[in-house]
Structure 1
Amino acid sequence: GELGALTLDGCYDDYLALAGPTWRNEVDATVGLELGSHRPGRQAEHVRAPLLVQIADLDRSAPPQAAAKAAFAGRAEVRHYPCDHFDVWPGKDWFEPAVRHQLLFLTRHLAPAAAVGSRSAVEL
Protein backbone atom coordinates (compact mmCIF):
# COMPACT_ATOMS: atom_id res chain seq x y z
CA GLY A 1 0.00 0.00 0.00
CA GLU A 2 0.79 3.67 -0.09
CA LEU A 3 0.33 6.45 2.41
CA GLY A 4 -2.61 8.69 1.67
CA ALA A 5 -5.12 11.23 2.93
CA LEU A 6 -8.86 11.16 2.32
CA THR A 7 -8.64 7.62 1.03
CA LEU A 8 -12.30 6.69 1.40
CA ASP A 9 -14.11 5.32 -1.64
CA GLY A 10 -14.92 8.13 -4.05
CA CYS A 11 -12.68 10.81 -2.52
CA TYR A 12 -10.02 10.60 -5.21
CA ASP A 13 -12.56 10.98 -8.02
CA ASP A 14 -14.27 13.85 -6.22
CA TYR A 15 -10.93 15.63 -5.78
CA LEU A 16 -10.12 15.18 -9.46
CA ALA A 17 -13.47 16.65 -10.44
CA LEU A 18 -12.86 19.73 -8.27
CA ALA A 19 -9.16 20.34 -8.76
CA GLY A 20 -8.73 20.17 -12.49
CA PRO A 21 -5.82 19.11 -14.67
CA THR A 22 -3.05 21.01 -12.86
CA TRP A 23 -3.69 19.38 -9.48
CA ARG A 24 -0.80 17.34 -8.11
CA ASN A 25 -1.80 14.41 -5.93
CA GLU A 26 0.60 15.36 -3.16
CA VAL A 27 0.36 16.72 0.34
CA ASP A 28 3.09 17.89 2.70
CA ALA A 29 3.53 15.51 5.62
CA THR A 30 3.10 18.35 8.13
CA VAL A 31 -0.55 18.63 7.16
CA GLY A 32 -1.19 15.59 9.35
CA LEU A 33 0.24 17.45 12.33
CA GLU A 34 -1.89 20.50 11.56
CA LEU A 35 -5.09 18.52 11.14
CA GLY A 36 -4.43 16.58 14.30
CA SER A 37 -4.50 19.78 16.33
CA HIS A 38 -7.18 21.57 14.29
CA ARG A 39 -10.08 22.25 16.66
CA PRO A 40 -12.33 24.96 15.17
CA GLY A 41 -14.81 24.54 18.02
CA ARG A 42 -12.29 25.95 20.47
CA GLN A 43 -12.14 29.27 18.62
CA ALA A 44 -15.75 29.48 17.44
CA GLU A 45 -16.97 31.03 20.68
CA HIS A 46 -14.72 34.03 20.01
CA VAL A 47 -16.18 34.78 16.58
CA ARG A 48 -18.31 37.92 16.77
CA ALA A 49 -19.41 38.07 13.14
CA PRO A 50 -22.46 36.17 11.91
CA LEU A 51 -21.48 32.58 11.27
CA LEU A 52 -22.94 30.01 8.89
CA VAL A 53 -22.02 26.37 9.40
CA GLN A 54 -23.09 23.92 6.72
CA ILE A 55 -22.99 20.31 7.84
CA ALA A 56 -23.01 17.23 5.64
CA ASP A 57 -24.71 14.86 8.05
CA LEU A 58 -23.28 11.74 6.38
CA ASP A 59 -19.75 13.16 6.08
CA ARG A 60 -17.13 10.41 6.30
CA SER A 61 -14.16 12.82 6.07
CA ALA A 62 -14.94 15.60 8.55
CA PRO A 63 -17.01 14.56 11.58
CA PRO A 64 -20.45 16.24 11.52
CA GLN A 65 -20.48 16.19 15.33
CA ALA A 66 -17.38 18.40 15.43
CA ALA A 67 -19.00 20.88 13.04
CA ALA A 68 -22.17 20.92 15.14
CA LYS A 69 -20.14 21.52 18.30
CA ALA A 70 -18.30 24.43 16.68
CA ALA A 71 -21.59 25.83 15.38
CA PHE A 72 -23.12 25.74 18.85
CA ALA A 73 -20.07 27.41 20.40
CA GLY A 74 -20.14 30.12 17.73
CA ARG A 75 -23.90 30.70 17.93
CA ALA A 76 -24.02 29.94 14.22
CA GLU A 77 -26.85 29.55 11.81
CA VAL A 78 -26.72 25.87 10.89
CA ARG A 79 -27.81 24.14 7.70
CA HIS A 80 -27.85 20.37 7.47
CA TYR A 81 -27.60 18.33 4.29
CA PRO A 82 -28.27 14.57 4.12
CA CYS A 83 -25.09 13.89 2.18
CA ASP A 84 -21.36 13.13 2.29
CA HIS A 85 -18.41 15.54 2.34
CA PHE A 86 -18.08 16.26 -1.37
CA ASP A 87 -21.81 16.24 -2.18
CA VAL A 88 -22.09 20.01 -1.63
CA TRP A 89 -19.48 20.77 -4.30
CA PRO A 90 -20.12 21.76 -7.94
CA GLY A 91 -21.80 19.09 -10.01
CA LYS A 92 -23.25 17.29 -6.99
CA ASP A 93 -26.86 17.08 -5.82
CA TRP A 94 -26.53 19.32 -2.78
CA PHE A 95 -24.41 22.06 -4.38
CA GLU A 96 -27.32 24.30 -5.43
CA PRO A 97 -29.12 24.17 -2.06
CA ALA A 98 -25.84 24.86 -0.22
CA VAL A 99 -25.03 27.86 -2.42
CA ARG A 100 -28.59 29.16 -2.09
CA HIS A 101 -28.24 29.01 1.70
CA GLN A 102 -24.90 30.85 1.48
CA LEU A 103 -26.44 33.60 -0.66
CA LEU A 104 -29.40 33.97 1.70
CA PHE A 105 -27.04 34.19 4.66
CA LEU A 106 -24.76 36.75 3.00
CA THR A 107 -27.68 38.82 1.74
CA ARG A 108 -29.26 38.89 5.18
CA HIS A 109 -26.03 39.94 6.92
CA LEU A 110 -24.24 42.07 4.33
CA ALA A 111 -26.93 43.75 2.22
CA PRO A 112 -27.96 47.30 3.14
CA ALA A 113 -31.04 47.28 5.37
CA ALA A 114 -33.24 48.79 2.64
CA ALA A 115 -32.30 46.07 0.15
CA VAL A 116 -32.92 43.13 2.47
CA GLY A 117 -36.68 43.42 2.08
CA SER A 118 -36.48 43.44 -1.70
CA ARG A 119 -35.37 40.64 -3.95
CA SER A 120 -33.24 43.05 -5.98
CA ALA A 121 -30.18 42.55 -3.78
CA VAL A 122 -29.76 38.93 -4.86
CA GLU A 123 -32.29 37.05 -6.92
CA LEU A 124 -32.92 33.80 -5.10
Structure 2
Amino acid sequence: MNSKLLISRILIGFGALSILLYGYGAIMYGMRDFFGLLLFAVLPVGYGVILGKRYRKTAHVHMEKQILRLAAKQHNLLTAADVALYTSLNIEESGNALEDLRRKGFLGLKVADNGAFVYEFQSYLSTEEKLSAERI
Protein backbone atom coordinates (compact mmCIF):
# COMPACT_ATOMS: atom_id res chain seq x y z
CA MET A 1 0.00 0.00 0.00
CA ASN A 2 1.25 3.46 -0.87
CA SER A 3 2.28 5.65 2.06
CA LYS A 4 -0.01 8.52 1.02
CA LEU A 5 -2.99 6.21 0.88
CA LEU A 6 -2.07 4.73 4.26
CA ILE A 7 -1.71 8.20 5.80
CA SER A 8 -5.07 9.28 4.40
CA ARG A 9 -6.77 6.21 5.88
CA ILE A 10 -5.09 6.76 9.25
CA LEU A 11 -6.21 10.40 9.30
CA ILE A 12 -9.79 9.45 8.43
CA GLY A 13 -9.80 6.73 11.09
CA PHE A 14 -8.32 9.05 13.73
CA GLY A 15 -10.86 11.75 12.87
CA ALA A 16 -13.76 9.31 12.98
CA LEU A 17 -12.63 8.00 16.38
CA SER A 18 -12.29 11.58 17.63
CA ILE A 19 -15.80 12.40 16.43
CA LEU A 20 -17.14 9.40 18.35
CA LEU A 21 -15.24 10.34 21.51
CA TYR A 22 -16.26 14.00 21.35
CA GLY A 23 -19.87 12.94 20.67
CA TYR A 24 -19.81 10.60 23.66
CA GLY A 25 -18.33 13.36 25.84
CA ALA A 26 -20.98 15.82 24.69
CA ILE A 27 -23.84 13.42 25.40
CA MET A 28 -22.62 11.93 28.67
CA TYR A 29 -20.87 14.88 30.28
CA GLY A 30 -22.23 17.94 28.49
CA MET A 31 -18.76 18.72 27.13
CA ARG A 32 -18.79 21.49 24.51
CA ASP A 33 -15.24 21.73 23.16
CA PHE A 34 -15.72 22.89 19.58
CA PHE A 35 -12.08 23.86 19.05
CA GLY A 36 -10.93 20.34 20.01
CA LEU A 37 -13.59 18.81 17.80
CA LEU A 38 -12.42 20.92 14.88
CA LEU A 39 -8.72 20.30 15.52
CA PHE A 40 -8.81 16.57 16.27
CA ALA A 41 -11.83 15.39 14.29
CA VAL A 42 -12.98 17.56 11.40
CA LEU A 43 -9.58 18.65 10.09
CA PRO A 44 -8.01 15.15 10.02
CA VAL A 45 -11.04 13.68 8.25
CA GLY A 46 -11.09 16.50 5.70
CA TYR A 47 -7.37 16.34 5.00
CA GLY A 48 -7.50 12.53 4.81
CA VAL A 49 -10.26 12.70 2.19
CA ILE A 50 -8.35 15.31 0.15
CA LEU A 51 -5.11 13.30 0.34
CA GLY A 52 -6.95 10.13 -0.74
CA LYS A 53 -8.48 11.87 -3.77
CA ARG A 54 -5.08 13.23 -4.82
CA TYR A 55 -3.53 9.78 -4.52
CA ARG A 56 -6.25 8.17 -6.65
CA LYS A 57 -5.82 10.83 -9.34
CA THR A 58 -2.03 10.42 -9.54
CA ALA A 59 -2.32 6.63 -9.39
CA HIS A 60 -4.70 6.71 -12.37
CA VAL A 61 -2.28 8.84 -14.42
CA HIS A 62 0.64 6.56 -13.48
CA MET A 63 -1.38 3.48 -14.50
CA GLU A 64 -2.19 4.95 -17.92
CA LYS A 65 1.49 5.73 -18.53
CA GLN A 66 2.46 2.16 -17.62
CA ILE A 67 -0.08 0.83 -20.12
CA LEU A 68 1.12 3.21 -22.86
CA ARG A 69 4.75 2.15 -22.36
CA LEU A 70 3.74 -1.49 -22.53
CA ALA A 71 1.70 -0.90 -25.70
CA ALA A 72 4.74 0.64 -27.37
CA LYS A 73 6.74 -2.50 -26.59
CA GLN A 74 3.93 -4.88 -27.67
CA HIS A 75 3.28 -3.36 -31.14
CA ASN A 76 0.09 -1.60 -29.97
CA LEU A 77 -1.66 -4.88 -29.09
CA LEU A 78 -2.47 -5.72 -25.46
CA THR A 79 -4.55 -8.15 -23.47
CA ALA A 80 -5.54 -7.84 -19.83
CA ALA A 81 -3.07 -10.64 -19.07
CA ASP A 82 -0.23 -8.67 -20.70
CA VAL A 83 -0.99 -5.61 -18.62
CA ALA A 84 -1.26 -7.67 -15.43
CA LEU A 85 2.03 -9.43 -16.17
CA TYR A 86 4.11 -6.33 -16.89
CA THR A 87 2.54 -3.72 -14.56
CA SER A 88 1.55 -3.49 -10.91
CA LEU A 89 -2.13 -4.08 -11.73
CA ASN A 90 -3.91 -7.37 -11.14
CA ILE A 91 -5.91 -9.08 -13.90
CA GLU A 92 -9.24 -7.50 -12.92
CA GLU A 93 -7.77 -3.99 -12.64
CA SER A 94 -6.02 -4.52 -15.99
CA GLY A 95 -9.26 -5.44 -17.71
CA ASN A 96 -11.06 -2.46 -16.15
CA ALA A 97 -8.27 -0.06 -17.15
CA LEU A 98 -8.25 -1.31 -20.75
CA GLU A 99 -12.05 -1.10 -20.95
CA ASP A 100 -11.93 2.45 -19.57
CA LEU A 101 -9.41 3.46 -22.24
CA ARG A 102 -11.55 1.75 -24.90
CA ARG A 103 -14.65 3.68 -23.79
CA LYS A 104 -12.66 6.91 -24.03
CA GLY A 105 -11.83 6.03 -27.64
CA PHE A 106 -8.10 5.35 -27.33
CA LEU A 107 -8.33 1.60 -28.00
CA GLY A 108 -9.99 -0.63 -30.52
CA LEU A 109 -11.24 -4.08 -29.55
CA LYS A 110 -10.53 -7.34 -31.35
CA VAL A 111 -11.39 -10.91 -30.41
CA ALA A 112 -8.75 -13.63 -30.74
CA ASP A 113 -9.55 -17.14 -31.98
CA ASN A 114 -9.68 -18.41 -28.38
CA GLY A 115 -12.15 -15.66 -27.39
CA ALA A 116 -9.66 -13.41 -25.59
CA PHE A 117 -10.09 -9.66 -25.97
CA VAL A 118 -7.18 -7.95 -27.71
CA TYR A 119 -6.99 -4.18 -27.36
CA GLU A 120 -5.30 -2.20 -30.11
CA PHE A 121 -3.94 1.29 -29.55
CA GLN A 122 -5.01 3.33 -32.54
CA SER A 123 -3.48 6.61 -31.37
CA TYR A 124 0.05 5.24 -30.94
CA LEU A 125 1.94 5.44 -34.23
CA SER A 126 5.38 4.25 -35.21
CA THR A 127 7.95 6.69 -36.55
CA GLU A 128 7.35 5.47 -40.12
CA GLU A 129 3.58 6.00 -39.76
CA LYS A 130 4.15 9.50 -38.39
CA LEU A 131 6.50 10.38 -41.25
CA SER A 132 4.12 9.06 -43.90
CA ALA A 133 1.13 11.03 -42.52
CA GLU A 134 -0.35 13.50 -44.98
CA ARG A 135 -0.82 17.19 -44.34
CA ILE A 136 -4.35 18.50 -44.07
TM-score by length of 1: 0.22
TM-score under structure 2 length normalisation: 0.21
Greater Rg by CA: 2
Greater helix fraction, Structure 1 or Structure 2 = 2
